[in-house]
A and B are shown apart, each in its own frame.
Chain A
Amino acid sequence: MSENHKIIEIEVLRYNPESDDEPHLEVFKVPFSDDMSVLQGAQYIKDNLDGSLTFRWSCRMAICGSCGMMIDGIPKLSCETFLRDYYPKRIRIEAMAHFPIEKDLVVDLSGFIAKLESIDPYIIPKEPRTLEQGEYLQSPEEFNRYIQFTSCINCALCYAACPQFGLNHEFIGPGMMALVQRYNLDSRDGGSAQRMQLVASEEQGVYHCSAVGYCSEVCPKHVDPANAVNVNKANAAKDYFLHFLSPKGGSK
């Protein structure tokens, strides 16, 4: 940082469950330079002003998925959002919407992780292969079919954006729909029938999506979960229809 700092006001939604009844706002004055991210602003507060400020972070390069928060009401990764873009106005940072707050900017992600675990997010081999047989071959077309959906960093910003998840926490949600697609579309995988049961389910399934598309807008990795949701909707409908025709139920 250079010597001639500008000062930006960062308004933080604070909540300590051991001492606060309700979350409340607290303003910190933070000297900053143009290269400083919102995350670095939070780190400045923790290092110099109040060591109790609590937030998750690690990589600083938008790949570990830890540092999501609401920044002026929009779900963003704080490491790749810059203070200069808000100055001279005050900037507000809050915990990600739609998740229970554990403390300050840290939310409870256990439900998100449980969903991840529920969708069988691994290759269920279509044709098992031994290591001696070497790699599976994948043509460029096969590769391009699923690769976009592998980019999800599990930052959960799409859940903070999703109005339906806000209403119904059972909804499997955009990120997991994209992950279902990631495996269903992989030429090595034969598990789509197994995964579709959940995707088409009444309580959690894809029909809860109201096609707002905000999830894709906030996705920092251009995974386009809205598109995945729509493909799944079509597949789930097909599955539902095939259910009447085939004794084994539908599959791809």
Chain B
Amino acid sequence: MEIFKADVVIVGGGGAGLRAAIAVAESDPSLKIALVSKVYPMRSHTVAAEGGAAGVKKPTDSLDYHFHDTVGGGDWLCEQDVVEYFVKQAPIELTQLEHWGCPWSRTEDGHVNVRAFGGMKIERTWFAADKSGFHILHTLFQTSIKYPSIQRFDEHFCVDLIEEDGRVQGVVTIEMATGKFHLIEGKSVIIATGGAGRVFRETTNGGIVTGDGMALAYRHGVALRDMEFMQYHPTCMPVTGLLFTEACRGEGGYLVNKDGYRYLQDYGLGPLQDKPKNKYMELGPRDQLSQAFWYEKQKGRTFEHPTLGSVVFLDMRHLGEAHLRERLPLIYEMAETFMGLDPAKELIPVRAGIHYTMGGIRVDGKCAASLPGLYAIGECASVGIHGANRLGSNSLTEIVVFGKLAGDEAARYVKSVGPSNSASLLKQAQAVEQRLMALKTKTGGNERIAVLRKEMTHTMEDGCGIFRDEQTMQATCDKLAELRQRFKNISIDDKSSVWNTDWLTAVELDYQLDVAQAVAVSALNRKESRGAHQRLDGPDGAYTRRDDVNYLKHSDAYYVADGAPRIVLGDVKITKSQPETRAYGAAGEKADQERKASHV
């Protein structure tokens, strides 16, 4: 066992983890930081974010507008005090990225430019062409190199948290290149491991997005909050699930069905607009656009492609090649490379696919989890800004706003706790090593990892899709319980030490099964429709509607060893926005005006 003693351990080297590392380094250069990542940090999935990051920029915009867009977009399941902090810090942190070199796209006069995004009243999405996440990630990674107190553990796979005296005191990792176990001691641990999209089949998420950190915290008794809210992005590449950014529509792209009809006008998002109009048509929120896709399919108005299945089309032909190449160069290349078509001349077949995990490790407004010393940030966390449906471009901002905050908080916290009992931590770490080695070396199993994974992703899609009902959700919960049992009989082909990805994939699958159960059981338990959780059932269709009396509540899922999670409902913090009807298009505008009039 190799041992490293840090003050702050950060698990995950994406945008959130890197921003936190820099914050710790800047707040106190004497603190030792261990930054653990199962890939090189610039491979982290932040890299694939395309559209941009939201922060008030225009003189016509206001923090209040950003707040109301976010809370309404989240169907009032947001922690409103946290949203207030978030919108206030957003422009500051995005400017900080600019100072560090992020190549934000500019206006002719040299200022940072902003673009329109779904569910946002005013253009406020800072963008770097359509590679915003890529540029943010590389900017943060390269900037992090400046700080000598950040010690990176690249290609280290985190297998457990070490808890002692009721607080977290470190992590155990496997160095992938050697298979050696490391105990990394730390007075505080920040989890920044990203989402869990890979528990589903068709997803925009990269292969590494397996919910590792969520499962780690969950197994240590920390609640996973609001896991039933999985975001379907309306414009994904069929089969592969690769993402066509919302910026395609922000720049003026249309969504049409098999008849060339802009069907969103039938779903409360109209009337039809020629040019992009904020909160209308294609610039509605993601949950409603994905639901509209589902309805179109029921009505037989999707195109049935012989190999791709049911699709609608993204039409950007009217935007012209020059504009597309400038604003959406990655999208252009993806359409050419992966689909063999020219978006300036042809329609792009798309459908809704899993994109984002709104829920996550429950933390307070300061990013602190219930286990002392533990923090969580970014997609793996539920700090409370997304509610039941995240607005596009809020999550890239989230990683820097809360990355900074968690770094500052963790740096402060480590000074308040005493030294660790290293011998005792080592003993725990050795027990973790034994458990993991037993998984690798065991023989006689006959379940293939890939088979279990496939069954998991299919059952998640069946039971926790865009629309849900009790029967299919129950079937999914039962299936997951079965897979949990079958996992015990898993077989691992590779018994070697060096770069044993067969073994690590099995550990990931173990994490994924835990997270999948939290998603499915939370979904089954929520007997209403809100944001990304839409039901088709209930007595007289009662669950098809939002139920603020019983379910204006968070769901906290608690781990139960060898059983289904225990779900507890928790209160939602409301400061200045009382729940009302969620409306977009003309209806939304009318509601806005009425609200304004009543306040006069």
Chain A residues in contact with chain B, CB under 8 A? Answer: 2, 16-19, 33, 35, 46-48, 50-52, 54-66, 80, 102-104, 106, 108-109, 113, 116-117, 120-123, 125, 129, 131, 134-140, 142-143, 146-147, 150-151, 153-154, 183, 186, 188-189
Mask, B9-46, CB within 8 Å of A = 1, is 00000000000000000000000000000011011110
Smallest CB–CB gap between B452 and chain A, Å?
11
CB < 8 Å neighbour of B498 from A17, A123, A146, A153: A17
Smallest CB–CB gap between B47 and chain A, Å?
5
CB < 8 Å neighbour of B112 from A64, A122, A135, A183: A135
Question: Given the complex of chains A and B, what is the CA–CA distance between A135 and B112 in angstroms?
Answer: 8
Question: Given the complex of chains A and B, what is the CA–CA distance between A63 and B242 in angstroms?
Answer: 12
- B337 near A80: Cβ-Cβ < 8 Å: yes
- A186 near B101: Cβ-Cβ < 8 Å: yes
Q: Is B421's CB within 8 Å of the partner chain A?
A: no
Given contacts A58-B43, A122-B145, A135-B95, contact A103 B492 (CB under 8 A): no
Which B residues from 58 to 117 make CB contacts under 8 A with A? 92, 95-96, 98-101, 103-104, 106, 108-112
| A-B interface, 3 closest residue pairs, ranked by CB to CB distance from nearest | A51-B493, A47-B450, A137-B110
Question: Given the complex of chains A and B, what is the CA–CA distance between A120 and B99 in angstroms?
Answer: 16
Chain B residues in contact with chain A, CB under 8 A? Answer: 39-40, 42-45, 47-48, 92, 95-96, 98-101, 103-104, 106, 108-112, 131, 134-135, 138, 142-143, 145-146, 154, 177, 206-208, 239-240, 242-243, 307, 330, 333-334, 337-338, 448-450, 492-494, 496-502, 505
- A131 near B206: Cβ-Cβ < 8 Å: no
SS class, residues of chain A in contact with chain B: loop
Question: Given the complex of chains A and B, what is the CA–CA distance between A56 and B207 in angstroms?
Answer: 10
Smallest CB–CB gap between B140 and chain A, Å?
10
Given contacts A138-B110, A153-B134, contact A65 B43 (CB under 8 A): yes
Which A residues are in CB contact (< 8 Å) with B498? 16-18, 102-103
- A60 near B99: Cβ-Cβ < 8 Å: no
Smallest CB–CB gap between A175 and chain B, Å?
12
Question: Given the complex of chains A and B, what is the CA–CA distance between A184 and B69 in angstroms?
Answer: 40
Which A residues are in CB contact (< 8 Å) with B95? 131, 134-135
Smallest CB-CB separation from A188: which chain B residue? B101
- B242 near A61: Cβ-Cβ < 8 Å: yes
Which A residues are in CB contact (< 8 Å) with B177? 102, 108
Question: Given the complex of chains A and B, what is the CA–CA distance between A196 and B100 in angstroms?
Answer: 20
Which B residues are in CB contact (< 8 Å) with A46? 450, 501-502
Smallest CB-CB separation from A128: which chain B residue? B99
CB < 8 Å neighbour of A137 from B39, B111, B338: B111
- A51 near B494: Cβ-Cβ < 8 Å: yes
Which A residues are in CB contact (< 8 Å) with B108? 140
Q: 23 pairs across A/B with beta carbons < 8 Å? A: A47-B450, A51-B449, A51-B494, A52-B500, A54-B494, A57-B207, A58-B39, A58-B208, A60-B207, A61-B334, A62-B334, A63-B48, A102-B498, A113-B40, A116-B142, A120-B145, A122-B142, A122-B145, A135-B99, A136-B98, A137-B109, A138-B110, A142-B110
Given contacts A60-B242, A103-B499, contact A154 B493 (CB under 8 A): no
- B99 near A61: Cβ-Cβ < 8 Å: no
Question: Given the complex of chains A and B, what is the CA–CA distance between A150 and B501 in angstroms?
Answer: 31
- A123 near B99: Cβ-Cβ < 8 Å: yes
Question: Given the complex of chains A and B, what is the CA–CA distance between A51 and B172 in angstroms?
Answer: 24
